[in-house]
């Protein structure tokens, strides 16, 4: 660097930032978010080995495959993960599978917490649950039914519809309620449960209903409350 620039540290910093920026790739690759707790922290409901394989290998593969798709489809570059979901119909199936897989698993880790640490539904969320289902227990029963009845692999969801009411839905494979696809009821996901066999098979084998029932003790209501508050907040004009 020119000696005169070194005497002007602010100018030198700006120049260095400009040089770094021009060398960066045209798009920022997605990255695997770390688990917000130890892999063993959800035991005995979900064992640490399942969590490690599920997060590191399955979710990790969705992220790396999605990044490969972005390289092959320049129109994807610059889209946020959320924006990608809402325009997924315009892209190849590999984008749908891996983009959905990345979004779905990112929310899955966040809506779980070690037993006893997840809090409880807020008064606002509880009021919406009571209005939509009659009670928390009835909402859980409908959610469990949707999760158990999902044939093959997929997800069960508690969503907030665009009109404000809550609903239970289910999607196949790595689809989710943000996607602009026929047959999917769209809304803001508040809570999503992974019912792929990779999520539970080591511990529960074919007993998916037992996994679903036990999973409720891991729900991070604090995060669900946050998501509901964000979805219900009036949008800025």
Q: Which residues bind Fe ion (CB under 5 A)?
A: 194, 196, 199
The H or E element spanning position 194 is strand 188-194
Minimum distance from CB of 138 to Fe ion (Å)?
A: 27
Nearest CB to Fe ion, comparing residues 109 and 196? 196
Minimum distance from CB of 54 to Fe ion (Å)?
A: 6
For residue 192, the cross-strand partners are: 157
Nearest CB to Fe ion, comparing residues 199 and 218? 199
Minimum distance from CB of 211 to Fe ion (Å)?
A: 12
First to last CA, the chain: 47
Nearest CB to Fe ion, comparing residues 8 and 57? 57
For residue 112, the cross-strand partners are: 219
Minimum distance from CB of 56 to Fe ion (Å)?
A: 12
Contacts (Cβ under 8 Å, ≥6 apart) of 123: none
Which CA distances in Å does 155 have to 128, 195, 220?
A: 22, 6, 17
Minimum distance from CB of 59 to Fe ion (Å)?
A: 7
In angstroms, the CA 29 to CA 158 distance is 29
Written as six digits, the tokens of 127 are: 């009021």
Minimum distance from CB of 112 to Fe ion (Å)?
A: 12
Nearest CB to Fe ion, comparing residues 97 and 140? 97
Nearest CB to Fe ion, comparing residues 15 and 61? 61
Nearest CB to Fe ion, comparing residues 107 and 144? 107
Give pairs for 227-233: CB < 8 Å, separation 24+.
227/111, 227/188, 227/189, 227/190, 227/191, 228/122, 228/124, 228/125, 228/128, 228/160, 228/190, 229/122, 229/124, 231/160, 231/188, 231/190, 232/124, 232/128, 232/160, 232/164
Written as six digits, the tokens of 219 are: 């729900």
Nearest CB to Fe ion, comparing residues 129 and 179? 179
Minimum distance from CB of 198 to Fe ion (Å)?
A: 5
């Amino acid at each position: 660097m020119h000696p005169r620039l070194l005497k002007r540290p602010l100018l030198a910093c700006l120049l260095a930032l400009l040089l770094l920026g021009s060398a960066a790739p045209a798009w920022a690759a997605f990255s695997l978010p770390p688990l917000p707790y130890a892999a063993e922290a959800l035991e005995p409901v979900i064992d640490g080995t399942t969590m490690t394989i599920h997060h590191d290998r399955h979710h990790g593969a969705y992220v790396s495959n999605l990044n490969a798709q972005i390289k092959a489809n320049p129109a994807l570059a610059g889209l946020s993960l959320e924006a990608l979901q809402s325009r997924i119909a315009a892209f190849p199936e590999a984008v749908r599978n891996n983009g959905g897989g990345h979004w779905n698993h990112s929310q899955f880790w966040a809506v779980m917490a070690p037993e006893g640490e997840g809090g409880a539904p807020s008064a606002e969320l509880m009021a919406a649950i009571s209005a939509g289902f009659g009670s928390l227990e009835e909402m859980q029963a409908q959610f469990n039914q949707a999760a158990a009845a999902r044939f093959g692999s997929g997800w069960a969801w508690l969503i907030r519809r665009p009109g404000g009411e809550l609903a239970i839905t289910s999607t196949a494979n790595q689809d989710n309620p943000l996607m602009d696809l026929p047959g999917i009821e769209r809304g803001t996901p508040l809570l999503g449960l992974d019912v792929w066999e990779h999520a539970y098979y080591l511990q529960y084998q074919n007993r998916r209903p037992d996994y679903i029932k036990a999973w409720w003790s891991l729900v991070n209501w604090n995060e669900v409350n946050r998501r509901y508050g964000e979805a219900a907040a009036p949008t800025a004009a």
